[in-house]
Amino acid sequence: MNTADLGLPVDVPSTALFTDQYELTMLQAALKAGTAERRSVFEVFTRRLPDGRRYGVVAGTGRVLDAVENFRFDADVLAFLHERGIVDEQTRDWLAGYRFGGDIWGYPEGEVYFPGSPVLRVEGSFAECVLLETVILSILNHDSAIAAAASRMASAAGGRPLIEMGARRTHELSAVAAARAAYVGGFATTSDLAAGFRYGIPTVGTSAHAFTLLHDRERDAFQAQVDTLGRGTTLLVDTYDVAEAVRTAVEVAGPELGAVRIDSGDLLLVAHRVRQQLDELGATRTKIVVTSDLDEYAIASLAAAPVDAYGVGTQLVTGSGHPTSSMVYKLVARAESADPGAPLVPVAKKSSGGKVSVGGRKWAARRLDADGIAEAEVVGTGQVPAELAGRELLVPLVRGGTVIAREPLDVPRQRHIAARANLPLSATQLSRGEPVLPTEYVQGRSGS
């Protein structure tokens, strides 16, 4: 099963080498030591949110499922590993038959998270779980960072649509993943055709300054675009003189002109002037789209401006200053032996320097106040307290190696809207502050 099973056309290639070498050297050593088959539990979490952020957004889960399903070592890859001396013959033979056969639980994509939230839990033998560390973190750290930035921008936009247009500001494959994460976080469309092709995200785009500069007159460029794309198109009006361009645009397209785009200058001032001019020319329904290196703060500053949509590029695909979510993948419980019935014992890193982790196989639930608004993220081991029953956050994603939770992208997009609405109002503030929910730990009697 793959993206094609959702009616999408692109399959994911093998992800087996999207990993760090030490995953394979640990596997080799564990096979020799006889500990590779010990039942183990790994969890993905972050110790802190990026400075000033009030919540995180889980994104990339669907891509993780594809990556796990396509984690296969073909003959060429196995030959590479063996020829380079990265693995010995025993390990190479073990990898040849690798298929993840364990279970994965996680926060559903689009859900919010906080420091300590076990956003993903991977269970199986040590050998099959440890290999997935790097690829899982690579996806979740990137996509969750983009989705968090997108969510903040969507909040700042106050319901006005956002266009993702950052493909030229990042790696070509990262651009596709960023467009997907942005859509989960609240963006409406993307300019990236690969993202539209792979994930079915609505795509948009009309023209750049080069098209205007190509023609002898701005009027000729506008006329050519309207003749091709219709009166509902968006005309770029800041190549030369904005006021003159707006006048020409309405003359060419008439009051049915779909929109004008402003890509430079004092956007607040220019937007007000353009709106007044459009109204005076009778183009009262023509929308105004603004671009030009926007972030959530710039978007918020335009809240009182007559802007109908925002196009965002660089700041979005770089996480608006926080390009990673700092998630880690840690062993939190393992069996005492390779016996399938051996009980799990909690394990945890105890070193100093702020990298301490909490051992034990964990659950998470969100406690609500009397008004139904979230007031705490509760994380614990053992039994879930009765008062939190039905509020658990982790859901099954993979069972016995089979993906069971693949879903259309509109589902996590809507889930995020609901999750954000369930947070205290201060979650949407752009001013610096602590996570909007505290994380409370409940210690159970067992890590199993």
Number of residues written out for the chain: 448
Question: Cβ(55)–Cβ(110) under 8 Å?
Answer: no
Pairwise CA distance, residues 156 & 158, whole Å: 5
Q: Which whole number is the average pLDDT over 353-381?
A: 92
Can you tell me whether residue 345 is helix, strand or coil?
strand
At residue 188, the pLDDT reads 98
Q: Which whole number is the average pLDDT over 323-333?
A: 97
Phi, psi of 190 (to 5 degrees): -135, 155
Pairwise CA distance, residues 263 & 286, whole Å: 17
Q: Which of 302, 253, 314, 306 is nearest to 281 (CA)?
A: 253
Pairing of strands 374-381, 439-442: parallel
Pairwise CA distance, residues 245 & 241, whole Å: 6
Is 161's pLDDT higher than 70?
A: yes
* Six-digit token string for 150: 């997108």
Is 353's pLDDT higher than 70?
A: no
At residue 52, the pLDDT reads 87
Question: Cβ(362)–Cβ(331) under 8 Å?
Answer: no
Question: Cβ(102)–Cβ(122) under 8 Å?
Answer: yes
Q: What mean pLDDT value characterizes the chain?
A: 94
* Six-digit token string for 200: 């079915």
Pairwise CA distance, residues 400 & 377, whole Å: 29
Q: Which whole number is the average pLDDT over 335-343?
A: 92
Is 250's pLDDT higher than 80?
A: yes
Q: What is the residue whose two structure tokens read 């969510």? A: 151
Angle between helix 218-229 and 242-253 (nearest 10): 40
At residue 448, the pLDDT reads 45
* Six-digit token string for 185: 């976080």
List, for residues 209-238, the tens digit of each pLDDT value: 999 999 999 999 999 999 999 999 999 999
Torsion of CA 363, 46, 119, 442, to 10 degrees: 10
The single-letter code of the amino acid at 149 is A
Residue ranges in 13-113 assigned as alpha helix (H)? 21-33, 61-69, 75-83, 89-96
Extract the runs of DSSP E, i.e. beta strands, from 34-146: 39-46, 56-57, 103-106, 112-113, 120-125
Q: Which of 318, 146, 201, 143 is nearest to 192 (CA)?
A: 201
Is 166's pLDDT higher than 70?
A: yes
At residue 2, the pLDDT reads 55
The single-letter code of the amino acid at 417 is I
Can you tell me whether residue 207 is helix, strand or coil?
coil
Q: Which of 6, 143, 16 is nearest to 67 (CA)?
A: 16
The angle at the Cα of 408, spanning 407 to 412, to the nearest 5 degrees, equals: 80
Provide the edge-to-edge strand list for the sheet that holds 287-290: 189-190, 162-164, 309-312, 287-290, 259-262, 234-236
| pTM summary value | 0.93
Q: Which helix (H) or strand (E) holds 329?
A: strand 327-335
Q: Which whole number is the average pLDDT over 322-330?
A: 97
What is the band of 5 on the pLDDT scale with cuts at 50, 70, 90?
low
Is 1's pLDDT higher than 60?
A: no
* Six-digit token string for 193: 């055709």
Beta bridge partners of 368: 374
Q: Residues 6 or more apart from 91 whose CB is under 8 A from it?
A: 24, 27, 28, 31
List, for residues 11-67, the tens digit of each pLDDT value: 557 899 999 999 999 999 999 999 999 999 999 999 999 998 999 999 999 999 999
Q: Which whole number is the average pLDDT over 134-160?
A: 98
The Cβ of residue 297 has, within 10 Å, a number of other Cβ atoms equal to 13
Pairwise CA distance, residues 291 & 164, whole Å: 10
Can you tell me whether residue 148 is helix, strand or coil?
helix
At residue 444, the pLDDT reads 72
List, for residues 280-314, the tens digit of each pLDDT value: 999 999 999 999 999 999 999 999 999 999 999 99
